[in-house]
Structure 1
Amino acid sequence: MKKLSVLALSTLLCFAVACKKEKKEDKMSEDTTEVTEAPKETMVKKAKATLEAKSESTVSGSVVFKQEGDNVSMTALISGLAEGKHAIHIHEKGDCSATDGTSAGGHWNPTGAPHGKWGSENGYHKGDIGNFNVDAKGNGTVNLTTDEWCIGCGDTNKDILNKAIIIHDGVDDFTSQPSGAAGTRVGCGVIAKM
């Protein structure tokens, strides 16, 4: 009988210790919170070019660039132009000091491609944005989104900072070299970080 009591007591003691250990582990798991990394937010970069009139025009407006991830969107709001189509390009130098806009240099063309229509299989400059329509009140809007540009990334083939936006009084024919015979430069703005 004594043997049975000792055995029963031993079993009871083992059971009690096991239960206590299990409760302690449960309590530890309740007290321990899992640390997870918050999802990384996409950094948004912005740049802007404020247009100034050139070649005795009345052009004004602004061009805003916004980069989210690998894509840069461009929204240009332009006024002071004659009704019809006009060309818009990014030029290589962020310099609008000349009264005719020539201080901005030629089209931005870091890859040495021929001039052409944006997205053409035959090639195009990174600055060959193209043509846009202007209404009877002299206003035009241009929207473009691309992964071929960046804002302040330092890649000479993609970085648009410190370049110039040029508005022309004519239409880009997409074939004449090196600039599409788009005519007089009537607006200029330097692309700067916001």
Structure 2
Amino acid sequence: MRRIPAALAASVLLAACASTPPTLPRQPAATSPPAPRVDAGTATSARANLAAASATLASGRIDLRAVQGGVRLAGEIGGLSRHGAHVLQVHARGDCSAIDASSAGPYFDATGRGAPDGGSDRIVADAGGVARVDQLVPGAVLGGGAANDIAGRSLVVLGSTAGATGARIACGVITLAPDGAP
């Protein structure tokens, strides 16, 4: 049996490697551009019925109305910490199925500027644990599917703890109202 000299074997292997085409970097898959932000949606009103999450008693109803500059939230939320400062926010997904409302996803910023400032979405409960809501979600619209459309997303109430906001204690999906309904 004949043996191939080591030098010859090495040169054959090197030649094979040199003739292999270079690996090209993978190109990212084509994605559709994000939906544009618009000044007006296709609906004027919606509602979110908030149900308890994280083993709390928090619940309420928030009516949403399209107004100049955003969407106005109005309603009441009960079962909150007495005299507690809570947070009411729009979240990315219209899914409140998880017991802790984590299925609602992260905070959703309709303006596209980043995280909330922490002040405009605060609500304060009275001595009976009820908060009356009247606030604006700036830059938001209702309906139409634009990037700033909040219809089909969730409203989430964050609990009150000493010096910080706590767990998600209530969640409701924002549902468009039929034409003419409040």
TM range (shorter): 0.5 to 0.7
Name the CA distance, whole Å, in 2 between partners of 1:115 and 1:65: 19
* SS of residue paired to 1:136: coil
Name the CA distance, whole Å, in 2 between partners of 1:189 and 1:130: 16
* SS of residue paired to 1:182: strand
Structure-1-length-normalised TM-score: 0.62
Partner of 1:170: 160
Partner of 2:105: 105
Supply the AA of the counterpart residue of 1:107: Y
Supply the AA of the counterpart residue of 1:116: D
Q: 1:130 to 1:146 in 2, by over 3 A?
A: closer
Structure-2-length-normalised TM-score: 0.65
Shift of 1:184: 0.5
Counterpart selection for 1:138 from 124, 129, 137: 129
Q: Which structure carries more strand by proportion?
A: 2
Supply the AA of the counterpart residue of 2:86: H
Name the CA distance, whole Å, in 2 between partners of 1:116 and 1:68: 21
Shift of 1:68: 4.5
Supply the AA of the counterpart residue of 2:94: G
Supply the AA of the counterpart residue of 1:139: V
Name the CA distance, whole Å, in 2 between partners of 1:108 and 1:68: 19
Judge which range, 95-104 or 82-91, deviates more: 82-91
Cα RMSD for the two superposed structures? 2.4
Name the CA distance, whole Å, in 1 between partners of 2:46 and 2:170: 18
Partner of 1:94: 94
For structure 2, list consecutive stretches of 5 or more residues without a partner in the other structure: 1-41, 178-182
For structure 1, list consecutive stretches of 5 or more residues without a partner in the other structure: 1-42, 119-128, 174-180
Shift of 1:147: 5.1
Partner of 1:65: 64
The answer to which structure, 1 or 2, has the higher relative contact order (CA under 8 A, 6+ apart) is 2
Residues 1-194 of structure 1: pairs in structure 2 closer than 5 A: 45-68=44-67, 71-83=70-82, 84-109=84-109, 111=112, 113-117=114-118, 129-145=120-136, 148-156=139-147, 158-170=148-160, 182-194=165-177
Identity over aligned pairs, percent = 29
Q: Which structure carries more helix by proportion?
A: 1
Count of residue correspondences: 134
Rg (Cα) greater in structure: 1
